[in-house]
Each structure stands twice: as structure tokens, then as C-alpha cells.
Amino acid sequence: MIDLQNVILEMIAKGESLGDTADRLCLEVERLIPDAVCSVATIDADGRLNSLAAPSLPRAYSDALQAVPIGPQVGTCGAAAFHGRDVITEDIRADPSWEGYRHLALPYGLLACWSHPIFDAQGTVIATFGFYYRQCRTPTAHEHELAEQCARLCTIALDRHRRVLEHQRRATIDDLTGLLNRSAFDAALTQLDCTVPGAWALAVLDLDNLKVVNDTFGHAAGDCLLQHVAKRLQQVARPEKVYRLGGDEFAVILTHDDMLRDLDATAAAYLEALSPNADCGGNVIGPRATIGLAVLAAGDRTAERVRQNADFALYHAKETGRGGYVRYWPGIGTRMTRRLTAVREVDAALREDRIEAHYQPIVRIETGEIVGLEALCRMRLGQKLLTAAAFHEATTDAQIASALTERMMRLVAADLRSWLTAGIPLQHVSINVSSADFHGLTILPTVLEVFGREDVPLKHVILEVTELVYMADDAGVVQKAVAKLRKAGLEVALDDFGTGYASLTHLMTVPVDYIKIDKSFVDRIVDHMPSIAIVEGMVGIAHKLGIRVVAEGVETSAQARQLLALGCTMAQGYFYSPAVSAVEAASMMRASAEGLADPTPQAKWRVL
């Protein structure tokens, strides 16, 4: 028996598979007891027998006894596992416990059997070691001793196997959600067949509001939200596998016809399942998600290509409207490439100090006096000076958008300090901010730090927020931030006013100091009655609410006259001046303060 023990322990130490080790154990015992046929069966968590090793038994016999629930009438091994003690059957033909199973054993000449239970460290039966005989007999004392030794070896082998499985589980399972992780996802992609177009698809899902939840309620609430999302997604996606790729990103590989038949309905079902509010440590949070979909197409030779396409679709969905889904189409790839190029160019410009602040005057229409400036971002590229429109796609990247805002604030703060020190009279400079600035929850600390460093009073600063940012503010993040900004002494302007679906509603829900009428209305204000009526209504309501009004994009004297007639007293646009450098802006403000007739270079006419 020492030789048997050494052989099996060496296999365990070398990391041989559990099946091979158990097979070798059976064969070694059969060598010691020639008339015995040995088997090892494991007991799963549901209390069912599963054949692990039976090298000398017919395969059909072992297969017939797979996943059979243990019990007192389930043959010798099933009864031993059930009772947790040795069970001996001297004659299978006469033993009642074999009533439903003897027809499987007798054709192979198996007439007797006895089984020894195998326990884990906690005393739970985890397997059985069985001896079959081709004659009616009971085990000898030597066989009992041998069975005890085999049980100890099996316990060691099974424990090692359990540890290996646990290690593999930890390597492929996300600890927080219990979902398969990125490593498992990468492995699954390599197993997919890419030869049949439409055979499978990929859904990539981003949880849009996780960062806000973490920053607002803490990471415990964020973890709770992820667990809710994982559970809901797993339920709605069955029988497909769901993966957590990390952070706020999930994926589902779709292979079943029911899921593939109508991908739009599948994606909509995912979003609907995620939408109900979740209780996260007493905080009621509504999960918000965006999905990108891609189907294996004829030109997709690798699963990685489909994965990239799904990512492109997700990015596009997030840019065009979070909370929905987009299916990949070839044009998205081109657009994403263009966007990534723009991101790289702006990132380089930030690192190389090629971002500049230019200023467009805001004038009082009646007198032409400069009453403020709007700071506009410019990027120097070689000999060219690019307007923000040329690299707008880069600002869809939240990091780039926030970095640009901070850089513009620092440039504006430095210019304001220079002008104040020089004694140049000025009222205010407005700076555009993005959704990313609010959702990063850093806008107020950044403003206080940047302008505080330059000792610039905040009364000289206006932050411009577009209507689109307000429209996407379901969680109230922007509204709360605006309230804090105004409390700190800054004024806030609602930019592109009139372009949203509920412009007047915004005036009630988010108090602002200025509204800026969008150029699309100003363009047609001279002879287009609907535009005239809308602008007149906007101006009237704003005045009653104590909100000042600036018209954007004024390009002709006729537009300026009409605006003044409708009650709008301030404007900006090429009719007065394009955006100019800080030096030119300083000269224009001096000229305006000194009462020169044409303080702005484009102002050939002024309303008297």
C-alpha cells in the first residue's frame, strides 16, 4: 500500500488532473485485488452522484448513473453517500436498494458491490469509493483497510481540485457582482466561430451615472448599484452569459436565435429591465445605461473586430444621446477615427501650450459700448489658428472637455488680472463650460482655485451653459452645481437659448442671470414672423424674470435694429467684431471706455 500511496501523492503533487488521478487509483487497487472492479463517484451540491473514475467499467454503465440523486434505495454507492457509512451488497440480484438499477449491472456480470464514503474536512460526504465483484461476496479486512487508504488519498486529491477550481473561479469571476470578468470575456471571444455572418452579436453596456453616484453618495452606494445592475442584466439576458468588463462596463455575447432575431427589442428589453430605481444604502438611484451593438458581419474575420465595432457603436450612442442604444454601421468607424484623431490633436495642443483664449465683445446695441466679452477657445496648428468648431469632436471626450475648460479658465484669469492691473474698465468675461465639468463635480473648486490664485473677483466671471447640458440633467447634477456657483458670486448664462425642447421650463428649474438667444433665430429676425414672435416672447419673459438677454450671431444693422425694437439691448457677432486676441480686446475696451465712436473694428454703424 505504500507504493500505491506514493504513486497517487506524486500525481497530486505534480498537478495531474483529478480524473487521471482517480483512474490511476482505481487501476492500482484493481492490480492489488484482481477480482475487484473499482469506481470513484463524486457528490455534487445538489446531492447527485456523478461518475469520476471507473476505468474498468463499461462507459454505458457509468453514463447511466450520472446525476442520479443519492438515497437509501439508490444502489450501494447512493446509499453509502446518503447514510455516510459503508454499505455492502452481497448479492445485487436480491438487494432491494438495487431494484431500479440491477438491470444496468447484471448484464455486465456485476453481482456484488460495497461502497465506502469519502468525507471532506467538515465531515460532509463528497464522494464514494466502490468495489464491484463478479461473484457474490463481502469485502475482506484487507479490502476495508485499502478502502480507508483510498478514501484519504481521494480526500487530498478532491481538496486540491477544489482549490484549483476556486483559483480558476477567482481568475474568471468578478468578486463584486459574481459575473464573469474581462479575462473570461476575452477567452470566450477566442472560442467564437467567425465563419457564419449573423451567427452571433455583441452588446456592450455602460452604466452612465456610476461616477456621479460614487462622487455623490460614496463608493458603497456605487458598488450596490453595480450589484443591482448585474443581477437585473443577468436575469433579462438569460440564457446568454453576462460579463463585467470593469468599472461601469458590461458585455453580453448573444448566440441564441431568440436574442438575435430582433436585436432592437433585445437592447430595449435590457434598458427597460435596468430602469427601475434601486435602493442603495437608503439612497434611491435610477440606473442609467447606454448600449452599443454589433453583429458578426461578412467582413469580420475576428471576434476582436466585432468587439471594436460594438465599442464604436457605444461611443456613438453616448455622444448622440445617453440612455439609448445604437447598432454599428460602417460609417461609425470613420467617425470614431476622426474623433480619436481630434482627441489626440487637442491633447497634444494642451501639452504643448497651443491653446489660446480669444475674445468676442458683447455690446450695448443702442450705444455700441462694450459691456462684456465671451472667451472663445482657439487651437494653434502650425501657421493656422483653428476655431473650436474645427476640433469640436474632441470635446465629446469628457477628459479633454474638462481639460480645455480648465485651461481656458487659467488663460482668462491671467488676462483678467492683467487688465485689472492695467486699470482697463471691464464688466465681465464669460467662459463656456461643458456637461463633463458638472458631472466631474470639480467645477466650483476649479473656479475658486483658478481665479483666487490670480486675485480676480468672481463678479467679473460668467459661466455659459448650453441648453443641451440642462436637458440631459435628469439627476439634477447641473441644477445643484449652478445653485452653488451663483451662491459663490458667479453669474450664469444659458447659451443657445431656444434650441431645446423646453426652453422656458429651464428658466423655472435652473435660475440663470443671462439668456443668450441662439443665432438661428437672429438669422431670420428681420422678415420671418415666427422668429420675430419667438424672440419677442423670450425677451419679454426674461425681463419679467429679471434675466438679462444677449443676442448671438448679429451680422447686419437690420438685425441689430430689429433686436432693439423687440427689447433686446445687448448683442454680439461679426457685425461688431469677430473674436480677437487679448491684446486687441484690451485696446477695444479702452476705446469703448473713452467713448470713441467705433470701439469695435467692425462697427460701421451704431443704433442711436
How do residues 408-463 score in pLDDT, each as one tens digit?
999 999 999 999 999 998 899 999 988 778 776 678 889 999 999 999 999 999 99
Residues 6 or more apart whose Cβ sits within 8 Å of residue 352: none
Whether residue 504 is found in the same domain as residue 523: yes
Cα–Cα dist 321/300, whole Å: 27
Q: Which structural domain range is residue 248 located in?
A: 182-328
Domain boundary among 143, 172, 201: 172
Selected residue with higher pLDDT from 435 and 210: 210
The reply to whether 32 falls in a domain is: yes
402 Cα distance to chain centroid = 19
Unique residue bearing C-alpha cell 464669460:
430
Assign residue 110 the CATH number of its domain.
3.30.450.40
Q: Which long-range contacts (CB under 8 A, 24 or more apart) does 90-98 make?
A: 90/136, 90/137, 90/138, 91/136, 97/72, 97/73
Q: Is 235 helix (H, G, I), strand (E, B) or coil?
A: helix
Please determine, for residue 161, whether its predicted confidence score (pLDDT) is greater than 80.
yes
Same domain, 209 and 290: yes
Judge whether residue 510 has pLDDT over 80.
no
Task: Report how far residue 521's alpha carbon sits from residue 149's, in angstroms, rounded to the nearest whole number.
Answer: 91
**599 located within any domain:** no
Instruction: Report the SS3 class of residue 169.
Output: helix
Residue 354 lies in a domain: yes
Q: Based on the fold, state whether residues 400 and 544 are members of the same structural domain.
A: yes
How much is the pLDDT for 501?
46
| Residues 367, 276 within the same domain | no
Domain shared by 417 and 272, yes or no: no
Whether 154 and 25 have beta carbons less than 8 Å apart is answered as yes
Statement to judge: residues 417 and 454 lie in one domain: yes
Same domain, 165 and 187: no
User: Are 316 and 450 within one domain?
Assistant: no
Domain assignment of residue 75, yes or no: yes
pLDDT band with cut points at 50, 70 and 90 for residue 321: low
Cα separation, 250 vs 477, whole angstroms: 24
Question: Max alpha carbon distance in the chain (Å)?
Answer: 122
Rg from Cα positions in the chain:
37
Mean pLDDT, range 344-373, rounded to an integer: 93
Last residue of a domain, one of 112, 138, 172: 172
Cα 495 from chain centroid?
Answer: 30
Domain assignment present for 109: yes
What is the distance between the alpha carbons of residues 226 and 244, in angstroms, rounded to a whole number? 10
Residue 418 has a CB neighbour count (10 Å cut-off) of: 14
**The CATH number of the domain where 496 resides is what?**
3.20.20.450
Considering the domain architecture, whether residues 464 and 484 belong to the same structural domain is answered as: yes
Alpha-carbon distances of 92 from 140, 259, 396, 460, rounded to whole Å: 18, 50, 75, 98
Q: Which helix (H) or strand (E) holds 495?
A: strand 491-497
Is residue 55 in some structural domain? Answer: yes
Query: pTM for this structure?
Result: 0.55
**Which is more confident, 270 or 510?**
270
Same domain, 347 and 306: no
Count up the domains in the chain and report the number.
3
Query: What integer is the mean pLDDT of 285-308?
Result: 90
Burial class (CB in 10 A: 0-12, 13-18, 19+), 573: buried
Q: Is residue 228 part of a domain?
A: yes
pLDDT, residue 392, reads 83
Considering only CA atoms, which of 188, 205, 201, 203 is closest in space to residue 260?
Answer: 201
- Look up residue 140 and give its three cell numbers: 475482506
Residues 490 and 536 in one domain: yes
In CATH, what number is assigned to the domain containing residue 275?
3.30.70.270
Q: Give me the mean pLDDT over the 249-277 stretch.
A: 93
The verdict on 390 and 313 lying in the same domain is no
Place of cell 443676442: 551
In a domain, 227, yes or no: yes
